[in-house]
Structure 1
Amino acid sequence: RLSTTTNWAKISGTTLRTTPSYTDAPPATGQTYLYEIRAVDKAGHESTGSADVTATTVDRTGPAAPGGLTATDGKGGLSLAWQPVAGATTYTVFRQQQTAPGSPTAPVTQVATVTSASWTDTAAAERTGYTYYVSATDAAGNTSATRTSVSATRGDYAPAPATNVTAVYEPRNGIVVSWAPSTSDDVVRYHLYRDGHLYRDLVHTSTYTDMTVSPGSTYTYTVVAVDGAGNQSPVSGSASATTDGDLVAPAAVTGLKATARQDGVFLEWAPNTEPDLKRYEVFKAEKYDDGEGGFVWLAHRVEYLGEDATSFLHGSAADGETVMYAVIAVDDWGNQLRVEDESVNWVEVTELGTPAAS
């Protein structure tokens, strides 16, 4: 009898055995059996059973094949599910890519071994069909004689996002933005956003140098991957960088004096002591008829000077005209006052000589 039952079964048949041995061939299922011997005399009287002995068969019987196999396409991949099999400890999943009629058959490849009755193929390519097979294996290593199969096609989904976005400011160069590419194999371009607005459309690259930045400013960048079908990934994490400098113009130049000489007009001024001073620019303004009986002052730049300059001779004809001069400081970041700014100090001077006839 089986060790799990109490009912004895006679296995020697109706003919009494006269030899002291017997061979039983129970199913190779790994089950345990109890055996006993009973003697029978010529009158047919049967003795009580001998002491029980046990024997366990070697388990060579595989479990049943999984049933109810389904495949569901989703953004995360093709999700497989099946009914659990009694006695199974693991399930093996095989995949075969579908090919066009007339093309060579793709190989069947083992892709997963799991203990639960479900699995998601996250590596399945989009717009591609597959056939999946699932077999069951028990604790003794026996595998089901047949495999359940199901076919499914992966849809077209948004690509995975770019990751590890960084932004690094490099003086005299700009802000270098880099990112780890999307893991999706159908990405064809990246949209680079600056401060929440689409800034650049980039093809097959994972770095960009933003050279249109202003001094003393902070910029925040994000990246969106785009596939060939136009599907856009979720927005990446952001990265920010701050440029050196500021947006404040140097103070107005003070102490400006203009002296008319035969060789031109000599200018001198007090030095600007701001640490980011880069240069001075000298402007001259002249009178022009405004066409309505009056005049206007029109200014133009006449010279660039270094940061150490405190004087300048503007060589010009001694024609007796009255003109104005201004000196404007410029910092390392290109900030400077405009010529029309009220804080700019203009000085008026009359050049030597006789004014030209009008």
Structure 2
Amino acid sequence: MIYRGESVDIAKQIGTSSTTNFKDITVEPGKIYTYYIVAVDRAGNTSGSSNIIVVSTPNSEVVIPPVETPDTGKPSMVEGLHTMSVKHNSVNLMWNAAQDNVGVDHYVVYRDGVELTQTKGTSFTDITVQASTSYNYHVRAVDAAGNISDKSSLYTVTTLVKPILPDVAAWNAAGLYIVGTKVEYKGNIYEARVTFRSFGDTNWNPESALSLWKLVTN
């Protein structure tokens, strides 16, 4: 028999146990309790009381945070690496999303074995390529714990030959342009949509002012 109280004199039986342990789930936070035990045989004979123990319950429930298991699983290998477009000055790559037990954080794109960039998405446009040149790309997935996947299969891309541009004048920020006039800007040819004068405003360049210019070749 298990007794509990604030002192031995006012202790009351709170339960019994056929084993040598007992869990008291009726206690309150911030209280002091005394416990002792009396053994009883099959005939009902009782022993003397055990020694008294004093227990203080904490003011609030102690919450033990769960132990987090480290994430050591690497993402699956990236598959489906391919191009959406290839030009003389750019390569647009895409691939299938990798799988991970927690989630992929980002991808690392490599060109000729050297890290080129990191991206959250499943596509990337390489604008640092040269015309008529072959490049080998592969991609690896990385999760939030830093686990990195095996590298994807190599994908070889050969950029196009740089187009021969017509003999046109370079764009001038202070120029007067008649509708249909063609200019060269950053290696591309643009055609004026309307007649206008730039008056030195560099924001009216063909790459930025799409209402004034249309791309003819790139």
Q: Bin the TM-score by the shorter chain.
A: 0.3 to 0.5
Which one has the bigger strand percentage? Answer: 1
Relative contact order, higher structure (CA 8 A, sep 6+): 2
Structure with bigger gyration radius? 1
TM-score by length of 2: 0.47
TM-score by length of 1: 0.30
